[in-house]
Structure 1
Amino acid sequence: MEKMLTLDQLKKKSDKRLIGLDSVFKLVIEKLIERCYARGVWIVITQGLRTYAEQDALYAQGRNGDKRPKVTKARGGYSNHNFGFAADFALLLRDGRTVSWDTLKDDDKDSLPDWSEVVEEAKKLGLEWGGDWRTFKDMPHLQMVFGLSTADFRAGKRPSQAQLNAVLSRLNKMDMEDEEMTAEEKAAFKALQKRVIVLESANKLTKVPAWAEQACINAKAVGALDTANDGSFDFYRMVTILDRAGVFKRGVVAQ
């Protein structure tokens, strides 16, 4: 039976696996879950931080007479999972319980495999995908290691603050791009645009009033205005009201 999960409900399913991850990397993974959800693809994190002992146990699988398939080539201390900069994911089916590693599944019926959509979003966020590795491809694996090797991590090296800040800056930019007006806000904005056109045609001023200059600049920056010249007093007043309401700070203009 298909079940509709809210984003918060979906994210809670990964909470335990996010414990112990580097704080910035954790934010990136949370953003990945959000962006995939927006595309109609549900994912859960199945592996996060591993201890050396847990890594050694995984390494032993498929070796020394164990007939199970091998799942890793890394011993304890030789996986980025051991340092909080790697995570594995799986698709969550629409029953809200079953996970899948089917790379061809397309639950959102957009003709693009859900797995491919996750990888696409992951790369936009700056994550490295284990499916790109030349040997021992690890399809569910994602990491962000900032050019550091596991030897570097074992030696105590960590990403610089500048590197971490660059990731945070990317996330902030994506947040602004992702933020959209609601249907009600779009309808109201369209009505205001029509009103602005009427006002613009009457009582034109020869110069933009000083008090409206910044509002006009902000409106032009998001494409709400082509030009601020030859507007009326009411036109500039309306643009200023919209700007103070934060409309031009959203980075989205209703089409």
Structure 2
Amino acid sequence: MAQLTLEQIQKKSLNRLVGLHPVFKMALEKLIERCYARGVWVLIVQGLRTYVEQDALYAQGRTKPGQVVTKARGGYSNHNFGFAADFALLLRDGRTVSWDTLEDDDKDSLPDWSEVVEEAKKLGLEWGGDWRSFKDMPHLQMVFGLTTAQFRAGKRPSQAQLDTVLSKINKTEDEEMTAEEKAAFKELQNTVQKQADRIKVLEFAAKQPKVPTWAEQACINAKTAGVLDTANDGSYDFYRLVAILDRAGVFNKKGDK
């Protein structure tokens, strides 16, 4: 029987945490830590998935061999946006990964799976085993009430929602945070806010709600020439290209000099 340290257990999930939203990632890291304290070794076996990876998984049991494991195509799973993950149990031999929901490897009469779910819910995580239509027992997510349609449209949780989760992560049960913990928590809040601000800048650059003033005439010329149907919801690079082409005379009508 192997006796692994917390650090060794954490390292086994490290690669699957890459790309997840920072606050969701922290919740999973805390989950691993709390479960270890209860004698349960939990592994994160699935994290962020690209649309292509999601489509390949969706094809399993449909157009490809295997059992059906998901109802979601690419863009319709919370895995695609970094707010979902799947877990499994690592047994005491330190090698065997189990999805047995009745497994009790720490011999405390409570199934290890149930202990993971219990700790996950304390951290504000949603468990796929509670779903009515399609129970996904290894699935955990933190979507802040947002749908995949809203995620696809670029909507993300508010800072207030993130702060609520951060407080759960950083506060131990029945114990106030120390001055050092409060300082670390404040620094973490600032980091998350900076990341959220950066995301907003990138999203604005990728999709602007209206045509910039400096590109208005170029867009009008492009529409008059029949090159564009609409100039709405373009990116900065799109408007820049239209302006360059207009200056080069590409949108001049035949006969115009």
Residue of 120, 123, 132 corresponding to 1:122: 120
CA displacement 1:8-35 (0-9 Å, x = unmatched) = 1100000000000000000000000001
Query: What TM-score comes out, normalization by structure 1 length?
Result: 0.67
Deviations 1:205-255 (A, max 9, x none): xxxxxxxxxxxxxxxxxxxxxxxxxxxxxxxxxxxxxxxxx9xxxxxxxxx
Aligned 1:91-102 pairs, distance under 5 A: 91-102=89-100
Q: Measured at CA, do residues 166 and 21 of structure 1 come closer, stay the same or move farther in structure 2, by a change above 3 Å?
A: same
Going from structure 1 to structure 2, the CA distance change for 1:70 and 1:98 (only over 3 Å counts) comes to: same
2:82 equivalent in structure 1: 84
| Cα displacement string for residues 100-144 of structure 1 (whole angstroms, at most 9, x for unaligned residues) | 000001001010100000001111111000000101110000000
**Structure 1 segment 112-191 matched on structure 2, within 5 A:** 112-174=110-172, 177=175
Q: Identify the residue that residue 18 of structure 2 maps to in structure 1.
A: 19
Q: Which runs of 5+ in 1 are unaligned?
A: 180-245, 247-255
Cα pair distance change 1:23/1:176, threshold 3 Å: farther
Structure 2 residue aligned with 1:56: 55
CA–CA distance in structure 1, aligned partners of residues 103 and 39 of structure 2: 13
Deviation track 1:144-189 (CA, whole Å, cap 9, x = no partner) reads 000000000000000011111111111121277499xxxxxxxxxx
1:9 counterpart letter in structure 2: Q
Equivalence map 1:36-55=2 (5 Å) = 36-55=35-54
Amino acid at match of 2:59: A
Residue by residue over 1:185-208, the C-alpha shift from the partner in whole angstroms, topping out at 9 and shown as x without a partner, is: xxxxxxxxxxxxxxxxxxxxxxxx
- Please give the secondary structure, in 2, of the residue aligned with 1:14: helix
Larger CA deviation: 162-171 vs 35-44: 162-171
Where 1:72 maps in the other structure, the secondary structure is coil
SS at match of 2:143: coil
1:71/1:123 CA distance change after superposition, 3 Å:
same
Question: Which 4+ residue blocks in structure 1 deviate beyond 3 angstroms?
Answer: 175-179
Q: Secondary structure at the match of 1:10?
A: helix
1:108 to 106, 109, 112: 106
**Amino acid aligned to 2:142:** M
Q: What code does the residue aligned with 2:143 have?
A: V
Separation (CA, whole Å) in 2 of partners of 1:145 and 1:156: 13
Which amino acid is the alignment partner of residue 166 of structure 1?
T
- Shift in CA distance, 20/143, structure 1 to aligned 2, threshold 3 Å: same
Letter in 1 for 2:58: Y
The 3 A distance-change label for structure 1 pair 75 and 178 is: farther
**Aligned with 1:121: secondary structure?**
helix
Instruction: Describe the superposition over 1:57-83 as per-residue Cα deviations: whole angstroms up to 9, x where unpaired.
Output: 00000003x341100000000000000
Question: Match for residue 194 of structure 2?
Answer: none
- 3-state SS of 2:165 partner: helix
Query: What does residue 190 of structure 1 align with?
Result: none
